[in-house]
Amino acid sequence: MIQLKYPAWQESLRDTILEFDPQKLPPKIRRTEAMIRARHQVLSSGAGHAEEQQALVDALATIRVLKGTH
């Protein structure tokens, strides 16, 4: 399995992406989106972390796609 660079929120994103049950997907999307936004807010209050911030922006784009598919 691939080593995640930011497992605190990437594990939830991976779990959401791999969810195929349409009943389970919406709550997973909401939980993951909240985790990503919370982490983004923490990082935006300090300097540095540009790489993780870009990964968070990309993750939110993935969440938008998932929202459009269910």
Query: pLDDT per position in the chain (70 positions), as tens?
Result: 689 999 999 999 999 999 999 999 999 999 999 999 999 999 988 778 999 999 999 999 999 999 996 5
Alpha helix positions (H), 18-70 = 25-44, 50-69
Per the listing, tokens 């300097």 go with 47
* Neighbour count for residue 55 (Cβ, 10 Å): 19
Rounded Cα distance, 33 and 36, in Å? 5
pTM summary value: 0.88
**Cα dihedral across residues 41, 45, 51, 52: positive or negative:** negative
